[in-house]
Structure 1
């Protein structure tokens, strides 16, 4: 590891910056893991799109459909391809805490920079503060790597800002991916923004959060490689303009991507987000591939509508 447990916060504040993307995992038609396809995508994302970090084996990557060994292999491939050119944060989320720890130890040993752990499903539990604090403390006590919290509606609840702030005091908590309404993450940023990174996955708010909340990290979803091509890196461009304080220019570039955002939004079937994301990747020349159960594939009509919208959205290939 590049830091000790008690250096984790300072290291993350210095190096965990810019645009980090959540990787979709390509699978072959027979369901097997397309390792070569993933390596090809990672090289494109880093070398061509200048993405600064990758979120591996998360919900976008269909970790819930992968075996334990596949998840470990997913991490190892990402570390090998990213090298020193981009950071890595590995999702080690699972309902079984022993699985979380096993994946966390693998992330440490294979050279990952950080891990992320989503809040567990807590059936019948309504007073969650102590439960969640002890859950993350249990992991922090047993892992040295920097850990990001992750709260999202799929857990059945949202972690309260006060709970997150308490957990943020643990020595190797370095960030939170906070998939919550904006008023909640604004409040948390004002509470602990000088201690850990607070971020959310909604690209629509990224520029406002740089300007109004002084955020330095986009953590993270698929827009960084779905809104951009080697010849059209407008998300990277508006981010760099914003970091340089050139907000008017940044906003113009950001707003110019509205047709692309609209094309994705209006063609994405509500029950098939992963398949749509992978097909959009294929239209961009990336490796998309199949999804695994329980996710559903696009119909031909859905592909045709997506292709038509893609061709009219204005991205320069």
Structure 2
């Protein structure tokens, strides 16, 4: 590891900045991981799009369909391909805490920068604050790597800002991916200052969060490699303009991507987000591939709709 447990917060403040994207995993038609395809995507994301870090084996990567060994392989491959050119944060989320710890240990051993653990499903539990604090403390006591919290509706509840602020005091908690309404993450940002990174995956709000909340990190989803090409890096451009304080120009560039956002949103079937994302990647020249059960594939008619919207969205290939 590149830092000690006690240095996790400081190291993340200094190095975990800019745009970090959540990787979709390309699968072959037989369901096996397309390792060459993933490596190709990673090279494009880092070298051509200048993405500064990758979120590996998360929900976008269909971690729920991967075996334990496949999740470990996914991490090792990403660390190897990123090298010293981009950071990595590995999803080690699972309902079984021993699985979380095993994946966390592997992340430490293979050279990952950080890990992320989503709030567990807590059946029949209405008073969650102490449960959640002790859950993250249990992990922090046993892992040295920097740990990011992750709260999202899929857990069946949202972690309260006060609970997150308490957990943020733990020594190697260094970030939170906070997939909650904006008022909640604004409140948490004001509560904890720069103690840990607060971020959300809503690209639409990224510019406002830089300007209003002084955020330094976009963590993370698929827009960084779906809204951009080697010859059209407008998300990178407006991010850099915002970091420089040129918010008027940043807003102009950001808003110029609205046709691309609309093309994606208007053609994404509600039950097929992953397949849609992978097909959009293929249209961009990246490696998309199949999805795994229980996710569904696009029909030919749905693909035609996506292709037509893509061709008219204005991205420069």
How far apart in 2 are the matches of 1:297 and 1:127? Answer: 39
Q: What is the aligned partner in structure 2 of residue 44 from structure 1?
A: 44
- In the alignment, does 2:123 pair up with 1:123? yes
Residues 239-250 of structure 1 correspond to what in structure 2 (within 5 A)? 239-250=239-250
Residues 120-140 of structure 1, C-alpha deviations (whole Å, 9 max, x = no match): 000000000000000000000
How far apart in 1 are the matches of 2:193 and 2:30? Answer: 45
- In the alignment, does 2:81 pair up with 1:90? no
Q: State how many pairs are aligned.
A: 317
Q: What is the aligned partner in structure 1 of residue 295 from structure 2?
A: 295
How far apart in 2 are the matches of 1:314 and 1:193? Answer: 38
* Structure 1 runs of 4+ with >3 Å offset: none
How far apart in 2 are the matches of 1:132 and 1:16? Answer: 25
SS at match of 1:11: helix
How far apart in 1 are the matches of 2:28 and 2:11? Answer: 38
How far apart in 1 are the matches of 2:17 and 2:281? Answer: 24
Q: What is the aligned partner in structure 1 of residue 158 from structure 2?
A: 158
How far apart in 1 are the matches of 2:191 and 2:54? Answer: 27
- In the alignment, does 2:275 pair up with 1:275? yes
CA displacement at 1:160 relative to structure 2: 0.2
Q: What is the aligned partner in structure 1 of residue 221 from structure 2?
A: 221
Q: What is the aligned partner in structure 2 of residue 183 from structure 1?
A: 183
Q: What is the aligned partner in structure 1 of residue 140 from structure 2?
A: 140
CA displacement at 1:193 relative to structure 2: 2.6
Q: What is the aligned partner in structure 2 of residue 193 from structure 1?
A: 193
How far apart in 2 are the matches of 1:278 and 1:80? Answer: 23
How far apart in 2 are the matches of 1:70 and 1:34? Answer: 12
Q: What is the aligned partner in structure 1 of residue 238 from structure 2?
A: 238
How far apart in 2 are the matches of 1:135 and 1:61? Answer: 24
Q: What is the aligned partner in structure 1 of residue 284 from structure 2?
A: 284
CA displacement at 1:194 relative to structure 2: 1.6
How far apart in 2 are the matches of 1:283 and 1:41? Answer: 13
How far apart in 2 are the matches of 1:57 and 1:279? Answer: 19
SS at match of 2:61: coil
Q: What is the aligned partner in structure 1 of residue 149 from structure 2?
A: 149
How far apart in 2 are the matches of 1:78 and 1:165? Answer: 31
SS at match of 1:120: coil
Residues 253-294 of structure 1, C-alpha deviations (whole Å, 9 max, x = no match): 000000000000000000000000000000000000000000
Which sections of structure 1, spanning at least 5 residues, go unmatched?
none
Q: TM-score if structure 1 supplies the norm length? A: 1.00
How far apart in 2 are the matches of 1:137 and 1:35? Answer: 35
CA displacement at 1:103 relative to structure 2: 0.2
Q: What is the aligned partner in structure 2 of residue 6 from structure 1?
A: 6
SS at match of 1:55: strand
How far apart in 1 are the matches of 2:264 and 2:242? Answer: 24
Q: What is the aligned partner in structure 1 of residue 75 from structure 2?
A: 75
How far apart in 2 are the matches of 1:270 and 1:316? Answer: 27
How far apart in 2 are the matches of 1:272 and 1:144? Answer: 37
CA displacement at 1:313 relative to structure 2: 0.0
SS at match of 2:89: strand
Residues 97-116 of structure 1 correspond to what in structure 2 (within 5 A)? 97-116=97-116
RMSD of aligned Cα (Å): 0.3
How far apart in 2 are the matches of 1:144 and 1:128? Answer: 25
